[in-house]
Structure 1
Amino acid sequence: MTPRSLDEWLDYQQRVHALGVDLGLARVREVWRRMDAPRIAPVVVTVGGTNGKGSTIAFLEAMLAAAGKRVGCYTSPHLLRYNERVRVAGTDADDAVLVEAFERIESARLEQADDPVTLTYFEFGTLAALWIFAHARLDVAVLEVGLGGRLDAVNIVDADVSIVTTIALDHEDWLGRDREQIAREKAGIFRAGRPAVIGDADAPAALAHSAHETGATIFQAGRDYHFEPAARGWRWRAHGREIALPDPELAAPVQRANAAAAIAALHVLRDQLGVDDVALAAGVRSAHVVARLQRFVKPGAAELVIDVAHNPQAAEVLARWLAQTPAGGRTLAVFGALADKDIAGIVAPLAARIDRWFVAGLDADTPRGLAAPDLLARMDAAVAPLRHEVFGDVATALDAAVAQAQVRDRILAFGSFHVAAPALAWAARNDFTAAT
């Protein structure tokens, strides 16, 4: 096999399969079988849902680390470096480890030379994470479901507990046109006789119904566990257990729900893991995830907030945060989106909260990206004409927003991971630092 660098492997993976998304488990399961399907960790947690997956995983990782556990986390997409997707004991996988995993996958994929198994970019990455975790002496592996659940590559692993955070409309072309259909797809990560944590008290009935049909043991917010404000912070309770907790460092009230779901998963795993209340509280306090209402500051400049909100549910959460945390001056939004997103559903809850829009094209970054004029046309069709300017890319839009902003203003960069990544890079180049 010709040696390849990590970048060369990733470029190869983008080209080797005809489809960017090819849902189904048969191909990836066959390659994993050829790799001898080693056990990846003594305990496995999978996390699916429309929004909140990354934050819930951050809480799980922080709580388990506080309890002294060696944790592997697989998440996607990445923001600045592919290595972010595979993390062991809080450290991103290095290039050599990823390359070694890809070489093993390729060998298995081509085992029958006359009939090679095709894999997508995401499937290569999933198998690499599983392979790395299987050789990392983990206590716990935490896996983020990439798209849907039932047919996502992560679902070749039988988890000890599965979490579904929220159900909302997103990726309808693959998952279904209503919340009930999407719920049934996401319920595919549940397993018979194992706990199914449902983090949304208002989840579609199809989610619990599908879990019941599977034979999973349902543990749902608002029914089996509860969380509410307290005089200081908040508290989580279930089955006679009550835990006093600090507020998360992660912004937005919704983060309590994400932390509560993570606690629920560790509660049902208490016999295997024994994570105590002190570790849970420490994890709530210390959990961190990039580009989730992440604030950046620079002396003499408006603050910059970067968020990956990219569907209507996430936009509503963002709008509530803006209402509860008003800027001293105006809010200037740098916004970009992918073509398959519900632009009307994203813009509508935010229109009254944003004073000026800096519309950024993403068409040069990804084939799915909307050019700025096309995005603006869809925005204008959704709401009354907005005060706006149009730019070819995120960095140029940020330059313009900063040039117009006063110190008391807020600049908000949001709409996609393809907005968050260049915004993070721009912040670093321009001497903005993450607020503590």
Structure 2
Amino acid sequence: MNKKTSLSDWLTYIEQAHTKEIDMGLSRTENLVNRLKIDFTEQYVVTVGGTNGKGTTCALIEQICLHAGLTVGVYSSPHLISFCERIRLNGELIPQTMLCEIFEKIDSSRKETAQKAIELTYFEFATLAALKAFSDQKVDVVILEVGLGGRLDAVNVIDSDVAVITSIGLDHQAWLGDTKEQIAVEKAGIFRTNKPVIIGEEAPQQSMLDYAQDLGAQLICRGKDFIFDETNNLISIQGEQFSTENAKIPKQNVATALAAVNALSRSAFSGSDNVLSRKLAAALPFLTASKVVQAIIDKTQVLGRHHVLRQQQNGDCCAVILDVAHNEDSARQLSRLIRTYSFHTCHIVAGMLKDKNIEVSLQAFADIQAHWYCATLPTARGEDSERLVRALNSSIELNENSKVDAFGSVDMAYKNALINAQSDDIILVMGSFLTVAAVLKYHASA
């Protein structure tokens, strides 16, 4: 390819740099980490894995650390609008110029061999760019979201000081295994000996607990080491209490993030005595101060996750909610959220990928009085809208007052939902990152 002068040029290039979209393994990334002199020995690393809730958990950890005066780098995927969303430096998207310069360094380094250049997948390029940015900027805290699984995911080339597992569900079975027990072991690959591991589910898989015990990791489990009372919206941890009543992200992820921050703060006293450990120790009163942290909990929101795009306005327009829920567990969680709203009809704009369990995911909304707007997604992996219609009409027992329509694009589906929805209704956009991204782009250009 000719000289790349823009981020768009680079993204086109890295999409074609490997013959496979997914190629699990750590050797290629490890090789480049060494060549690029990426080093986190003087930084704290938090690695967040799990089936659902990784992005929101990362975001709350990030916000608390930033407000405590720490510098923070976050790597999260996928993006919705701009690739730069994947890499945040102190709460801001990485500048495109910096990202392009780093891509140039990665590309040059992978070709520094007498043999064939090292092939990198799109995700490996992105991961290395994030790691290089955080290493060069010497941020205090590095937060890495696992892309797929854990054991063989590119972020796992970096040893974490705190590992987090948000949840275990059935997704990506072709890569991770057909049962939750198998998937749990793959995700537990991010654990490290003598390092804290936060388990965000109250009933974790035994295979994951056994893995942690055999490794000698320090288990910190919900229900034992920290408590989340869902009925009363209360989190209890280390003698402090926090409310999730006004949280704008999934409430169980708030509990998991707080447990991770607590473990991070305590690590300042268990490691070596250096500038960073003293800085983290100085931030400890903030990191554990319930009133200050409570304010951060109440205002933290993540694009496309339980995202209220538009509030209901009396007699004028209905609420619009966006959520990237795309598997059984996240759909069930989203269904519970929707039921907390008062509405006549839920207008559901749904677009999903072919490799998802469509029937099981949509089943969570079956009994809601809904008008379904099924949309075809503009990608080879995208499911056709007629397939979604068949799933709803044939495999799911819908509310008797529900209606199902098919559209060739998310834009068309969403426009029709806007036309049909009354002020006492609600619009829900869900099913994939692509579906939510299309609606965000629609509003950005409107």
- The reply to whether TM is greater than 0.5 is yes
Report the alpha carbon displacement of residue 248 of structure 1 after superposing the two structures with TM. Answer: 4.2
Give, as a single letter, the amino acid of the residue that structure 2 aligns with 1:322: I
- Report the Cα distance in structure 1 between the residues aligned to 2:215 and 2:342, rounded to whole angstroms: 45
Cα distance, 1:79 vs structure 2: 0.4
Q: What's the CA shift for 1:2?
A: 2.6
Question: Which of 288, 291, 297 matches 1:276?
Answer: 288
What's 1:315 paired with? 331
CA shift digits 1:326-369 (9 cap, x unpaired): 32x2101000000000001101111112411000001x2x2211
CA deviation after TM superposition for structure 1 residue 223, in Å: 1.7
CA contact 1:248–1:287 (8 Å) conserved in 2: no
What's the secondary structure of 1:16's corresponding residue?
Answer: coil
The answer as to whether partners of 2:26 and 2:157 remain within 8 angstroms in 1 is yes
**Counterpart secondary structure, 2:10:** helix
CA contact (8 A) 1:292 1:308 kept: yes
How many corresponding residue pairs?
421
* Per-residue deviation, 1:246: 5.6
Over residues 287-313 of structure 1, what are the superposed CA-to-partner deviations in whole Å (9 max), with x where a residue is unaligned?
Answer: 120111211237622221111110000
What secondary structure does 2:46 align onto? strand
Counterpart-to-counterpart distance in 1, 2:310 and 2:217 = 46
AA partner of residue 301 (structure 1)? C
Residue identity opposite 1:356 in structure 2: H
Q: Distance in 2 between matches of 1:36 and 1:82?
A: 24
Is residue 149–residue 187 contact of structure 2 (8 Å, CA) maintained in 1?
A: yes
Distance 1:204 1:381, change over 3 A: farther
Give the AA of the match of 2:258.
Answer: I
2:73 aligns with 72
With over 3 angstroms needed to count, the CA separation of the structure-2 counterparts of 1:424 and 1:41, relative to structure 1, is: farther
CA distance in 1, matches of 2:246, 2:128: 32
2:438 to 402, 407, 422: 422
Tell me, in whole angstroms, the C-alpha distance in 2 between the residues paired with 1:53 and 1:357.
28
Secondary structure, aligned partner of 2:133:
helix
The answer to whether the 8 Å contact 1:63/1:281 transfers is no
Aligned residue number for residue 403 of structure 1: 419
User: How far has the Cα of 1:381 moved from its partner?
Assistant: 3.9
Q: Matched residue of 2:198: which SS?
A: strand
Equivalent residue runs for 1:282-431 within 5 Å = 282-297=295-310, 300-327=316-343, 329-362=344-377, 364=378, 366-384=379-397, 387-430=403-446
Paired AA for residue 395 in structure 2: A
Instruction: Say if 1:159 and 1:191, in contact at 8 Å, map to a contact too.
Output: yes
Give 3-state SS (helix, strand or coil) of 2:339's partner: helix
Distance 1:135 1:36 in 2: 9
How big is the shift at 1:247?
3.3
Separation of aligned partners in 1, 2:76 and 2:246: 20
Query: How far apart in 2 are the matches of 1:211 and 1:379?
Result: 41
Aligned letter for 1:256? K
The residue identity in structure 1 corresponding to 2:324 is V
Distance 1:344 1:408, change over 3 A: same
Q: Which residue of 1 aligns with 2:213?
A: 212
Instruction: Give the partner amino acid of 1:368.
Output: R
Query: Which residue identity is paired with 1:243?
Result: Q
Q: Distance in 1 between matches of 2:84 and 2:422?
A: 37
Q: 2 CA distance for matches of 1:392 and 1:13?
A: 29
Question: Are the counterparts in 2 of residues 338 and 368 from structure 1 also a CA contact under 8 Å?
Answer: yes
CA distance in 1, matches of 2:195, 2:386: 49
Q: Secondary structure at the match of 1:259?
A: helix
| 8 Å CA contact 2:226, 2:235 repeated in 1 | no
The one-letter amino acid paired with 2:28 is R
Contact 1:40–1:133 (CA under 8 A) maintained in structure 2 = no
User: What SS is found at the alignment partner of 2:137?
Assistant: coil
> Which of 220, 239, 242 matches 2:240?
242
User: Contact conserved, 2:75 with 2:130, CA < 8 A, in 1?
Assistant: yes
Q: Is the 8 A contact 1:296 1:304 kept in 2?
A: yes
2:251 aligns to what?
Answer: 256
One-letter amino acid of the counterpart of residue 247, structure 2: E
Q: How far apart, in 1, do the equivalents of 2:422 and 2:244 lie?
A: 34
Alignment partners' CA distance in 1, 2:222 and 2:138: 32
Which residue of 1 is the match for residue 133 of structure 2? 132
Letter matched to residue 414 of structure 1? M
Does the CA contact (< 8 Å) of 1:336 and 1:359 recur in 2?
A: yes
Give CA-to-partner distance per residue, 1:186-214, whole Å, 9 cap, x none.
00000011011100011211111111122
- Deviation track 1:19-65 (CA, whole Å, cap 9, x = no partner) reads 11111101111111111232276101000000111111111011111
Q: Is the 8 A contact 1:296 1:427 kept in 2?
A: no
Deviation at 1:229, TM superposition (A): 6.3
Q: Distance in 1 between matches of 2:45 and 2:196?
A: 12
Shift in Å, 1:90 = 0.7
User: Aligned with 1:400: secondary structure?
Assistant: helix
The answer as to whether partners of 2:321 and 2:428 remain within 8 angstroms in 1 is yes
Q: Please, what TM-score do these two structures have when normalized by structure 1?
A: 0.92
Q: TM-score, normalization: structure 2?
A: 0.90
Listed one character per residue, the Cα deviations across residues 68-106 of structure 1 (whole Å, up to 9, x for unaligned) are 111111100000100010001110001111101111111
Asked if the contact 1:175–1:185 (Cα under 8 Å) also holds between the matched residues in 2, the reply is yes
For the residue of structure 2 that corresponds to 1:269, the secondary structure is helix
CA contact (8 A) 2:352 2:383 kept: yes
**Using the alignment, how far apart are the partners of 2:38 and 2:95 within structure 1?**
22
**1:183 shift after superposition:** 0.3
Q: Which runs of 4+ in 1 moved over 4 A?
A: none
Equivalent-residue separation in structure 1 for 2:99 and 2:60 (angstroms)? 25
Please give the alpha-carbon distance, in whole angstroms, between the structure 2 residues aligned to 1:368 and 1:40. Answer: 40
CA separation in 2, counterparts of 1:347 and 1:244? 33
Instruction: Write the distance in 1 (CA, Å) between the matches of 2:178 and 2:203.
Output: 18
Deviation at 1:277, TM superposition (A): 1.6
Deviation at 1:284, TM superposition (A): 1.3
Consecutive unaligned residues of structure 1, counting only runs of 5 or more, are 431-436
